Each structure stands twice: as structure tokens, then as C-alpha cells.
Amino acid sequence: DAGVIQSPRHEVTEMGQEVTLRCKPISGHNSLFWYRQTMMRGLELLIYFNNNVPIDDSGMPEDRFSAKMPNASFSTLKIQPSEPRDSAVYFCASSLGINEAFFGQGTRLTVV
Amino acid sequence: GENVEQHPSTLSVQEGDSAVIKCTYSDSASNYFPWYKQELGKGPQLIIDIRSNVGEKKDQRIAVTLNKTAKHFSLHITETQPEDSAVYFCAASPAGGGADGLTFGKGTHLIIQP
């Protein structure tokens, strides 16, 4: 398996634009997580899904953030409208049951 | 919610010496404690984990200890090598990585001096 695949790897956008980050979890995994990493706040859990169902989105910072998982092999994290303070590295991770969570390579988002 | 504190934020050791990173957590319901290593430009990668029914776990040069009473756990790396240089994160979860997500510490930048 190629691991957790995220796209794009880098995204530069202007303030106010919509940004969509994509994630393909490891085949067979039933949990998917979105994390955000910044120097100030470290790694923060934004939202997670079990069997494609959102379980806890209490980490989503604002209503501008939304996430979907239409099927077991794909998830998106959308920011609309984007702001400079959204600049961060966004990681997707997946796991099976209570086992190890595998992380993708991340998407580095820069909002100018 | 859970709060994980990690110390030190930076640790510099001579190659061949040991390195110890310590974490404390606040939620007594936490039962799963993984350690991740993150290299520049990459995602975190699990190096070792421990569950609350075990006090210590070892894998070659890496070991983790857990004290549930005191709510702290530590990572020990012996015979450090240049490739050990990275940022290390501790984390805690009530069940496991796949059940309800992880709360991470702020990370330790480990520098191995040749």
C-alpha cells in the first residue's frame, strides 16, 4: 500500500479564496483524521470519521472549515473563505480500529 | 478534554549517549500513549506505543515507560545515532489511535551532536 495520500502537497492561495485539501486513506482502514500543525499550537485534531461518519468535529476552528467523507477511500477538508491565519500544514491520518494511526505527508497551505 | 505536556522542547546529546523525553497527561481515562517521530517535510511516524496495562515496553534502542498513577510517560533512546535527529511527539488517547484521535504534546527537537 502506498500509505495515506494527500493532495496537493503545497497550496498557495489568496485570502478569501476557497481551498480544498484531499486525502486517500489506507485501504481497509475505517477511521480517518484531519490534523493541523502550526508552530504556535502544535498538532491539533480537527475532526475524525469512523466508517465514513463524522464523530467529533469539536476541533474545527470555525464554520469556515468543513470536512466530508463520501466513501471509504476519500475525504476532503474545505476552507471557505480562507484567511492568512489558516496557513499551516494539514495532515490526514487513517487507522484500523484502535491500532496505529498512519499519517500522510501533509499539505502545506499558505494564505496570502 | 485531555492536555499533554512535553519536556524538554529541545534536547541536544552527544552521539552514543542516551536521550530521555518526558510527558504528562491530565485525563485519567487515557489508555493509549504513542510516540511519533517527525522528520523535516514529512508526516509523523509511529516509533513505539504503550497501553495502560503495561508499565514498560522496549524495541531495540527505544523504550517507553508509563506511570499511570502519576500520569506521566517517557521515551528513552539509547546509543543515539545521527539519524535519530528529528522532532519527537508524545500523544495520549482514551482508546487507541483509531478510536477517537490523539492529543499531542508540543514536541521535542532532538539534536544528535557528532
B99 closest CB neighbour out of A98, A103, A105: A98
Q: Are strands B86-92 and B45-51 parallel, antiparallel or unpaired?
A: unpaired
Is pLDDT above 60 for B88? yes
Is pLDDT above 80 for B96? no
Q: Does A31 touch chain B (CB under 8 A)?
A: yes
For residues B34 and B36, what is the distance between their CA atoms, to the nearest angstrom?
A: 7
For residues A17 and A24, what is the distance between their CA atoms, to the nearest angstrom?
A: 23
Cβ within 8 Å of residue A58, ≥6 positions away? none
Binned at pLDDT 50, 70 and 90, residue B103 comes out as: very high
Q: Does B89 touch chain A (CB under 8 A)?
A: yes
Q: Can you tell me the mean pLDDT for A31-38? A: 96
Q: Which residue has the higher pLDDT, B29 or B63?
A: B63
Residue B19, C-alpha cell as written in the block: 536521550
Q: Can you tell me the mean pLDDT for A39-63? A: 93
Check residue B25 and give its pLDDT. Answer: 97
Binned at pLDDT 50, 70 and 90, residue A1 comes out as: low
Residues of chain B in contact with residue A45, where contact means CB-CB under 8 angstroms, are 101-103
Check residue A98 and give its pLDDT. Answer: 80
Residues B56-93 as b/e (b if ≥16 CB within 10 A, e otherwise) read: eeeeeebbbbbeeeebbbbbbbeebeeebbbbbbbbbb
By percentage, how much of chain A surpasses pLDDT 70?
99
Q: Does B55 touch chain A (CB under 8 A)?
A: no
Residues of chain B in contact with residue A100, where contact means CB-CB under 8 angstroms, are 34, 46, 49, 97-98
Check residue A89 and give its pLDDT. Answer: 98
Is pLDDT above 80 for A75? yes
B42 closest CB neighbour out of A99, A100, A105: A105
Q: Which residue has the higher pLDDT, A97 or A19?
A: A19
**pLDDT, tens only, B42-51:** 999 999 999 9
Rounded to a whole number, what is the distance in Å from the CA of A70 to chain B's nearest CA? 19
Q: Can you tell me the mean pLDDT for A88-112? A: 94
Q: Can you tell me the mean pLDDT for B60-81? A: 97
Is pLDDT above 90 for B13? yes
Binned at pLDDT 50, 70 and 90, residue B97 comes out as: low
